[in-house]
């Protein structure tokens, strides 16, 4: 607070660890130095001194600002890598390359996954053998390009040594697992933009020693095995479906054949039955089942001539006759029965020429029929003569 000299005030603020006062004094002194166009080497030393103080006290923003003011690229590399500041690392790589600080630029390129830029930086720095080995290790797709540059450079020293360098394009047998390395490179290029925080180092440090080629080999082999199994399953499913389809077609064909055989058998049965019907002998006329009903010699009750007088009596509406004696009634019944028998005999004689009559009816059956007809006739006569309820 007493001194007016900026340099003296800065030294006192640093010794007392008053970083805010020291920072303000440096800003004022830097502005005066730029206005007077004085050399900045002394000012860079002061900024570096303040940056070390800020870093020792844990003031990271102030330490970063001091490192930028003093062009302390190594300090910035330390800060950015510790904090996991990827954008700052990318910017630092460009700044360091322009400043000719190839070691800082190479580390910044390599840590941010810019392997192509790191290889090109080695070529620009005339470190071509290192660039070739780095390409062989981290970027196998760049081997041929870098190897050609190395051969041209080596020919100026030893042509035989240059010809001894083998190109993987011409001698793939000398580069085992190169195809797998190219697959690993594809995986690396697709995932190198993924940001991994510095706090994840305890979990991620185990991945630094992984054999990526062996891992990719195992994954591809498992994938191929899975594809082969899937193809086999698909082929088995298609074979099963084909067999089921063939079985269904065979069943349909068998059903069609069975239907055709059934139809043919039915037709054969019909033809055979027709042939049997034509070739079978005529059934005997004496069979009571095959004989037609009108050809029966026995009179049926509807055609009985005994009912004829009843019909005639009803049509002529004859007046009721006086009651007869029992002897006269019996005599009349006998006469009617004789007439009925005569009519039956005449009908039988007329039907012998056209139809075959069953003559197997016994005399006992004829007597029974005649007796039933006589009783029916007697009942009809009694009903007809005494329909008024007269007592005969």
pLDDT tens figures, 113-150: 899 999 999 999 999 999 999 999 999 999 999 999 99
Residue 10 placed within a domain: no
- The percent helix, strand, coil of the chain (3-state, each to 5) is 75, 0, 25
Residues 351-365: b if buried by 16+ CB within 10 A, e if exposed: eeeeeebeeeeeeee
Residue 34 placed within a domain: no
Alpha helices per DSSP H over the chain: 6-15, 19-36, 41-56, 60-69, 73-83, 86-98, 102-111, 115-124, 128-138, 143-155, 159-163, 178-191, 201-204, 212-279, 308-316, 326-351, 363-385
Per residue in 56-95, pLDDT tens? 888 888 999 989 888 889 999 999 988 888 899 999 999 9
Residue 162 placed within a domain: yes
Mean pLDDT of 270-285: 64
The residues, ordered by sequence, that sit 6+ positions from 221 with a Cβ below 8 Å of its Cβ are: none
Residue 199 placed within a domain: no
What is residue 241's predicted lDDT score, i.e. its pLDDT?
A: 85
Measured distance between the N- and C-terminal CA atoms of the chain, rounded to whole angstroms: 179
pLDDT above 90 covers what percent of the chain? 18
Q: How many helices (H) and strands (E) does the chain have?
A: 17, 0
As a whole number of angstroms, the distance between CA 6 and CA 24 comes to 10
Residue 361 placed within a domain: no
Counted domains in the chain: 1
Is this model's pTM higher than 0.85 or not? Answer: no
**Contact call for residues 86 and 108 (beta carbons, < 8 A):** no
**Contact call for residues 269 and 332 (beta carbons, < 8 A):** no
Tokens representing 353?
């020429």
pLDDT band at 335 (very low <50, low <70, confident <90, very high): confident
Torsion sign across C-alpha atoms 9, 10, 13, 16:
negative
pLDDT at residue 387 tops 70: no
As a whole number of angstroms, the distance between CA 51 and CA 72 comes to 10
Nearest to 309 by CA among 377, 386, 389, 375: 377
What is residue 337's predicted lDDT score, i.e. its pLDDT?
A: 67
pLDDT, averaged across the chain = 75
3-state secondary structure of 195: coil
Number of other CB atoms surrounding residue 303 within 10 Å: 10
198 CA to centre of own chain: 45
The DSSP code sequence of 21-56 is HHHHHHHHHHHHHHHHT--SHHHHHHHHHHHHHHHH
pLDDT band at 98 (very low <50, low <70, confident <90, very high): very high
Per residue in 142-191, pLDDT tens? 999 999 999 999 999 888 998 899 889 888 888 888 888 888 888 888 88
As a whole number of angstroms, the distance between CA 343 and CA 351 comes to 13
Higher pLDDT pick, 103 / 14: 103
As a whole number of angstroms, the distance between CA 379 and CA 357 comes to 31
Residue 170 placed within a domain: yes
What is residue 285's predicted lDDT score, i.e. its pLDDT?
A: 42
What is residue 105's predicted lDDT score, i.e. its pLDDT?
A: 95
Nearest to 162 by CA among 146, 174, 144, 150: 150
Number of other CB atoms surrounding residue 200 within 10 Å: 11
As a whole number of angstroms, the distance between CA 167 and CA 148 comes to 9
**Contact call for residues 110 and 95 (beta carbons, < 8 A):** no
Domain with 156, as residue range(s), is 113-193
Residue 151 placed within a domain: yes
Residue 65 placed within a domain: no
**Contact call for residues 44 and 69 (beta carbons, < 8 A):** yes
């Amino acid at each position: 607070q007493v001194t007016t000299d900026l340099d003296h005030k800065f030294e006192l603020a640093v010794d007392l660890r008053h970083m805010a006062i020291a920072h303000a004094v440096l800003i004022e002194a830097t502005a005066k130095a730029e206005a007077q166009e004085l050399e900045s080497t002394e000012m860079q030393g002061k900024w570096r001194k303040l940056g070390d103080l800020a870093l020792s006290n844990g003031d990271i923003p102030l330490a970063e600002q001091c490192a930028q003011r003093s062009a302390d690229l190594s300090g910035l590399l330390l800060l950015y890598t510790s904090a996991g500041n990827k954008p700052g690392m990318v910017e630092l790589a460009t700044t360091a390359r322009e400043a000719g600080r190839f070691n800082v630029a190479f580390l910044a390129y390599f840590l941010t996954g810019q392997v192509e830029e790191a290889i090109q930086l080695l070529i620009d720095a005339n470190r071509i053998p290192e660039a070739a080995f780095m390409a062989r290790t981290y970027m196998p797709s760049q081997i041929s390009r870098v190897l050609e540059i190395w051969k041209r450079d080596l020919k100026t020293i030893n042509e035989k040594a240059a010809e001894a360098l083998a190109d993987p394009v011409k001698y793939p047998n000398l580069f085992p697992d190169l195809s797998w390395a190219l697959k690993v490179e594809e995986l690396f290029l697709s995932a190198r933009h993924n940001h991994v925080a510095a706090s994840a180092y305890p979990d991620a440090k185990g991945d630094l020693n992984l054999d990526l080629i062996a891992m990719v080999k195992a994954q591809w082999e498992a994938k191929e095995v899975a594809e082969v199994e899937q193809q086999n399953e698909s082929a088995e499913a298609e074979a099963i479906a084909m067999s089921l389809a063939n079985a269904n077609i065979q069943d349909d064909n068998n059903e069609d054949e069975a239907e055709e055989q059934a139809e043919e058998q039915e037709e054969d049965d019909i033809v055979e039955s027709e042939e049997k019907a034509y070739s079978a002998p005529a059934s005997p006329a004496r069979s009571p089942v095959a004989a037609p009903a009108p050809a029966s010699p026995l009179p049926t009750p509807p055609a009985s001539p005994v009912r004829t007088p009843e019909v005639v009596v009803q049509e002529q509406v004859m007046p009721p006759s006086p009651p007869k004696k029992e002897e006269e009634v019996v005599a009349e019944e006998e006469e009617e029965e004789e007439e009925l028998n005569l009519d039956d005999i005449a009908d039988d004689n007329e039907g012998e020429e056209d139809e075959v009559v069953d003559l197997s009816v016994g005399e006992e059956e004829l007597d029974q029929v005649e007796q039933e007809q006589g009783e029916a006739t007697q009942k009809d006569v009694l009903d007809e003569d005494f329909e008024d309820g007269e007592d005969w």
